[in-house]
C-alpha cells in the first residue's frame, strides 16, 4: 500500500481512561494529534487498536483480529492447503515456502499462509495500517492456539521496494504482492475497509517497480493477486494464472520449489 502523504485528518482517541497513556504513545509514534477536528479516529480500547471514520453515515471500525471472526472461520473451515492462495505460492506435501508478503495490509492472506505452516515476513508501508496489524499480532500472540501461528509472522514497516532492494540475509523463496488497484467507479467503495483506507493509501501507482524488485529478490517465484478482470502489472509477463470468482493469482516462476 502507498506511503504517499495522506491529506486525511486523523486523531488518536482513548476509549477509556485506562488507555490514555497507550493512546498518547501511539499519537507520538505516528505523529498524530490527540484532539481536534478530524475525519478519522484511531481508537484504543478493550478490543485493541481500531480505525473508524467519523460522522453519522460512517461504517463501523476496522481492526485486525486473528483470533475470532472471519479469519478464525477461514482457519478452521477454509480448505487448508487446497485454497487457491496456497496453490499459488506453492504449498504442497512436504513443501512450505518462506514467503515475503510485501503488501501486507491487514495481514489476512499472510495469516492464512502462516496457519498452513509457512514462515512469513510482512511489509506494510502505510504507518497507520502497520499499527493496526502490529496490534492484532500482539493480541493474537497471547492466544494459546493462534499464538503458535503468529509466531511464524514477522512484520516490517517501510517502503517495500527499498526494503527488497536492500535485502540482507537469505532471500524469500516466494514474494506475494497484492497491490491496491485503481478504482473506476463508486462500487469499489462499498467495502468498509476500502472506504476507510482509500484516503490513507491511495493506489499503488508504483506496482511495476514493486514487481521488478520482487522478481529481482525472490529465489523461486513471485505471485501477484489481482481482481479477476484486471490487466496484468506492466513489466514481465506471468507464466500462468489461477483464476477464482473475483480475483486471480498471476504466477512468475523462477525455479521449482523442492523439499529442501
> Binding site for S-adenosyl-L-methionine, residues?
108-109, 124-125, 178
Region of 70 (left: φ > 0; alpha: ψ -120 to 50; beta: rest) is: alpha
Binding-site positions read: 108-109, 124-125, 178
Q: How many CA atoms lie within 13 A of 220 on its CB side?
A: 20
H or E segment to which residue 164 belongs = helix 160-165
Can you tell me whether residue 111 is helix, strand or coil?
Answer: helix
Q: In whole angstroms, what is the distance from residue 183 CA to residue 189 CA?
A: 8
The pairing of beta strand 153-157 with beta strand 40-45: unpaired
Is 45 buried (19+), middle (13-18) or exposed (0-12) by CB count in 10 A? middle
User: What is the Cα–Cα distance from 43 to 50, expressed in whole angstroms?
Assistant: 5
Amino acid at each position: 500500500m502507498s506511503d504517499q502523504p495522506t491529506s486525511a485528518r486523523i486523531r488518536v482517541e482513548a476509549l477509556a481512561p485506562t488507555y490514555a497513556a497507550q493512546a498518547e504513545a501511539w499519537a507520538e509514534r505516528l505523529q498524530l494529534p490527540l484532539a481536534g477536528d478530524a475525519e478519522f479516529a484511531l481508537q484504543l480500547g478493550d478490543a485493541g487498536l481500531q480505525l473508524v471514520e467519523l460522522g453519522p453515515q460512517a461504517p463501523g471500525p476496522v481492526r485486525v483480529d486473528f483470533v475470532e471472526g472471519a479469519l478464525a472461520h477461514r482457519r478452521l473451515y477454509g480448505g487448508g492447503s487446497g485454497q487457491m492462495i496456497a496453490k499459488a505460492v506453492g504449498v504442497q506435501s512436504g513443501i512450505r515456502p518462506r514467503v515475503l508478503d510485501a503488501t501486507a495490509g491487514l495481514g489476512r492472506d499472510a495469516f492464512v499462509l502462516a496457519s498452513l505452516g509457512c514462515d512469513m515476513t510482512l511489509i506494510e508501508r502505510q504507518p497507520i495500517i502497520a499499527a493496526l496489524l502490529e496490534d492484532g499480532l500482539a493480541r493474537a500472540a497471547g492466544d494459546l492456539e493462534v499464538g503458535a501461528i503468529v509466531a511464524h509472522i514477522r512484520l516490517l514497516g517501510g517502503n517495500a521496494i527499498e526494503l527488497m532492494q536492500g535485502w540482507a540475509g537469505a532471500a524469500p523463496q516466494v514474494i506475494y504482492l497484492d497491490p491496491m488497484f485503481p478504482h473506476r467507479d463508486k462500487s469499489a467503495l462499498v467495502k468498509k475497509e476500502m472506504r476507510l483506507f482509500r484516503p490513507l493509501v491511495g493506489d499503488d501507482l508504483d506496482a511495476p517497480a514493486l514487481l521488478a524488485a520482487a522478481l529481482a529478490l525472490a529465489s523461486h517465484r513471485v505471485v501477484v493477486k489481482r481482481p479477476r478482470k484486471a490487466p496484468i502489472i506492466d513489466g514481465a509477463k506471468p507464466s500462468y494464472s489461477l483464476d477464482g470468482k473475483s480475483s486471480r493469482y498471476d504466477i512468475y516462476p523462477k525455479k521449482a520449489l523442492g523439499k529442501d
